[in-house]
A and B are shown apart, each in its own frame.
Chain A
Amino acid sequence: MQLTLWTYEGPPHVGAMRIATSMREVHYVLHAPQGDTYADLLFTMIERRDKRPPVTYTTFQARDLGGDTANLVVSAVRDAYERFKPQALLVGDSCTAELIQDQSGALAMGMNLPVPVVPLELPAYSKKENWGASETFYHLVRAMVGSAKRERPQRSAGQRPKANLLGPTALGFRSRDDVREVRALLESVGVDVHVVAPWDATPAQLQSLTDADFNICLYPEIALTTASWLQRTQGMPFVKTVPIGVGATRDFLTEVGQLAGVDVSDALDAAQSRLPWYSRSVDSTYLTGKRVFIFADGTHAIAAARIARDELGFTVVGLGTYSREMARDVREAAQQYGLEALISDDYLEVEAAIAAAAPELVLGSQMERHIAKRLGVPCAVISGPFHVQDVPARHSPQMGWEGANVIFDAWVHPLMMGLEEHLIGMFREDFEFGEHGSHHGKAPAKRQEPEPLLVAVAAGAPAWTADGEKELKKIPFFVRKKARMNTEKFAVERGIAQIGVDTLYEAKAHYGK
């Protein structure tokens, strides 16, 4: 039993819903009690989808237990088939149905429906949403492709190579826009997109996956299992680099070039992102060494760390993921930044880690947005779980050249602009300027002063003299918290009991900046 205030991921059957909802001509019969239909509104509200998710819930009640629940499955499957006539049917259990062991998948298989029925066994008490999505996608692809090796049609001379894009899903962070961006990227090097799946694909299209020359695994959380299986059984190689950021987009194109046998050097030379120049322009000097904490799904966390360090010149002070399946990759990535990865789905643990790292920018999910708001730190959302406002009307990809532009804007805008930071330093003594003179209108609510989050040092913590406190107040508010923290740490390490003006400046000299 685990005490949980907020969860990053839903249960695995919600992952299965994401696959079903992404696709056309698929229907999902979910053996579930009343209430589980709440998941519909994740799609209709957060993503403003204009259709109900293609899910039929059996809606069993207490009085059905021990009696009729298996019959409910059969009638729900029959009715759903008759009404929706899907090309393929997914059948599985929610957490409660798993306990009553009706074998819903087997029951549906036994009904001899004229379409493929894919039974889903998604253990709800040990696995979570992304895993459920991955498994569902894998089993559906397996059911449609079959495990026999298929002959790929010979590509005639002059015919462009074809790739499948695997992994974009409903409720995937910016999936809609990433698909368009990656399609354009491939187009620019003469590669055609064959099937995008699960996003907007039909089961019939899944059957033709093997007609492509190779696969592109855009979201390992969702598609790595499937891409690996297609490689193993069908000999289809796949591109592993996720093109988020300028460097990763370059690597991606290079990898595509190798697999497709096309020359990508022109595309690399013509790289259209403004990020490199924006990062080099003088206003961006204020970004130098900004302390950034990153916590997200595995794909976006790893990509964000690379961009933060190599493309924006930040210092990565924390890196982690809630995605256990991606733990190894995130750990490896963290090592490159001299960090130990935070692998946790405990929201409170994440909050404590962020507070302890005292970052100047948080990159995370909707959860981290709330943590950052409480801590008074700017934040940009880079991954699910996300909010309706993270599904913008405009084209707003994360991948490819335009994705890098979007990322530059999205991460830099929450920060104080360079010149502005400078002005605040100049005018901070001006009584009219105060601490509210930023282009953000009001300073973030409750930019609490010391808020001794870090005063785990509490016992025997050094005290500030009146002079020391006064001098500390002269430091611009947006770095004051860090200055206080560093000074206290400095004092504790040296056994200084009273922090005066001198200690403050000695610490400043010691830490720099």
Chain B
Amino acid sequence: MTGTALPVVDTGCRDVPVLKERGQREVFCGLTGIVWLHRKMQDAFFLVVGSRTCAHLIQSAAGVMIFAEPRFATAILGDRDLAGMADCNEELDRVVRQLLSRRPDITTLFLVGSCPSEVIKLDLAKASQRLAVEYVGKVRILSYSGSGIETTFTQGEDACLKAMVPALPETQEQNLLVCGTIADVVEDQFTRLFRELGITNVQYFPPRRATQLPPIGPNTKLLLAQPFLNETVRALQARGATLLSAPYPLGVEGTTAWLRTAADAFGVAPERLASAIAAPAQRARTAIARYKPALEGKRMFWFPDSQLEIPLARFLARELGVENIEVGTPYLDKLLVDAELDLLPRTALSEGQDVEKQLDRCKAAAPDLTVCGLGLANPLEAEGMRTKWSIELVFSPIHGFDQAGDLAELFARPLDRVGRLKV
């Protein structure tokens, strides 16, 4: 189906009523964040305290990345732990000692709570304090919960970063703190752009090494690179930092607005910003234009996954002429998507999920492209629908000017593919 006219860019989605659903959720739990967090902070180790299911989940989500001994593991609870025959705390201490003696290169250990550890009320915060005493000066030991009863997919990163906030050193200096895991190459691009704006005191959170924690204080300005750090933002605000509300740096418009927000906050002259971004923004526009014919007027349906749905739908609608039918998101926190909702052309919004009902709506709408997880993608393809699997949007570098074309291509590819195949 092709739209004959571009969707009217109207008053945005700020006042659109949100369909709130409860039911079966086809979304990962927060443990999955370990898959990218352990690659970002290469001196950190993530020890899930949970069941065989947790171990199986992470290794399935990590797919074939079994190239070396991983920097994550599971302390699998057994019958003896549950029956009280073994003191869980003693057992946990034993496993941590076993692990740290194997891996002397680890500088930070995260004890990660799971559904079973939460249900049996195993206090990992206490455990981390206890173990921190034993390993003081050698290994920093922190804890957070990635359990599916409390967190959804990318909320695992939020919980992890929040756990690190108390460890951040204090500063009185003015600095810019960019929050949310982004690829190293994108970080470097942003650092160069900030430098051209004259903003030189920039740090990233999470850092590339868990030992190099960014400083924070009353003169810290927060700029979010990812839309899922609610708790972390509140913890950072409690330490005096100021949140800069901005759209996310996805696409030309998003990246420009994001940088402008920082520039304004640091008193950078608009002309300086304009000249700094002129070349990369033009490159991005050129790169995006290549995919516009494939995507313009296409109708898109979004299943909830990573929280990136609203910013991505905004990018596709405003820069590629996509018509969004329904944008689903695991949860909607206006604190984090305020600026995005103003920009997103009117569309149905849904929060939470009842996957069967949502599938009914999706099939009835017969979109040109459905953005969904890998559990749904092949079954929908088999029914003749085109899909884009959403997890790639979390694992690929998509932020910033120089990735904008790649981001558009990710959505254009399934449509390109269907055009090529003659069987």
Contact = CB atoms under 8 A, between A and B. Distances in A.
Contact of B149 (A5, A10, A49, A61): A61
A125 B379 contact: no
A37 B52 contact: no
A48 B378 contact: yes
A356 B152 CA distance: 43
Given A34-B149, A96-B149, A3 B73 contact: yes
B31 A35 contact: yes
Interface in B45-94: 49, 51-53, 55-57, 59-61, 64, 66-70, 73-79, 81-82, 86, 88, 91-92, 94
Nearest to A76: B24
Contact of B67 (A48, A62, A370): A370
Contact of B52 (A11, A50, A58, A65): A11
Nearest to B50: A95
B17 interface: no
Residue from B22, B27, B76, B376 with most neighbouring chain A CB atoms (10 Å): B76
Interface in A234-248: none
Contacts of B26: 37, 40
A38 B52 contact: no
B148 A34 contact: yes
A388 B421 CA distance: 22
B82 A125 contact: yes
B150 A62 contact: yes
Nearest to A53: B375
A79 B150 contact: no
A394 interface: no
Interface in A38-64: 38-42, 44-45, 48-52, 56-62
Contact of B77 (A33, A123, A125): A125
Contacts of A374: 68
A6 interface: yes
A381 interface: no
Contact of B373 (A5, A41, A65, A83): A41
A198 B204 CA distance: 52
Interface in A107-152: 123-126, 128
B333 to A, nearest CB: 16
Contacts of A4: 52, 55, 73-76
A60 B78 CA distance: 22
Contact of A7 (B52, B95, B118, B119): B52
B116 A99 contact: yes
Interface residues of B, number: 64
A56 B150 CA distance: 20
Contacts of B61: 38
Residue from B28, B60, B73, B147 with most neighbouring chain A CB atoms (10 Å): B60
Interface in A378-404: 387
A379 to B, nearest CB: 13
B148 A95 contact: no
Contacts of A3: 73-76, 95, 98-99
Interface string B97-116: 01100000000000000011
Residue from A14, A50, A95 with most neighbouring chain B CB atoms (10 Å): A95
Interface string B367-408: 000000111111101100000000000000000000000000
A1 B75 contact: yes
A44 B377 contact: yes
Contacts of A44: 374-379
B120 interface: yes
A251 interface: no
A281 interface: no
A83 B23 CA distance: 14
A56 to B, nearest CB: 6
Contact of A34 (B27, B56, B116, B382): B27
A5 B28 contact: no
Residue from A44, A49, A370, A387 with most neighbouring chain B CB atoms (10 Å): A44
Contacts of A497: none
B356 interface: yes
A1 B94 contact: yes
A100 interface: yes
Contacts of A34: 25, 27, 29, 148-149, 152
Contacts of B77: 1, 125
A374 B23 CA distance: 44
A501 to B, nearest CB: 37
A36 interface: yes
Nearest to A373: B67
B35 to A, nearest CB: 11
Contacts of A51: 379, 382
A103 interface: no
A14 B51 CA distance: 13
A94 interface: yes
B81 A38 contact: no
A250 to B, nearest CB: 37
Contacts of A45: 374, 378
Nearest to B377: A44
A11 B378 contact: no
B115 A2 contact: no
Contact of B79 (A13, A125, A128, A366): A125
Given A1-B94, A40-B375, A44-B378, A99 B55 contact: no
Residue from B53, B64, B92 with most neighbouring chain A CB atoms (10 Å): B53
Contacts of A6: 55, 59, 66, 70
B28 A35 contact: yes
A35 B57 contact: yes
Interface of A: 1-7, 9-11, 13-14, 33-42, 44-45, 48-52, 56-62, 65, 76, 79, 83, 94-96, 99-100, 123-126, 128, 366-367, 370, 373-374, 387
5 tightest CB-CB pairs across the interface, nearest first?
A: A35-B29, A35-B148, A50-B382, A40-B375, A96-B115
Given A3-B75, A13-B53, A76-B24, 12 more contacts: A1-B49, A7-B52, A7-B55, A33-B147, A35-B32, A36-B57, A38-B61, A41-B60, A45-B374, A58-B24, A59-B24, A83-B356
7 contacts: A7-B52, A35-B28, A35-B29, A40-B376, A96-B53, A124-B53, A370-B67
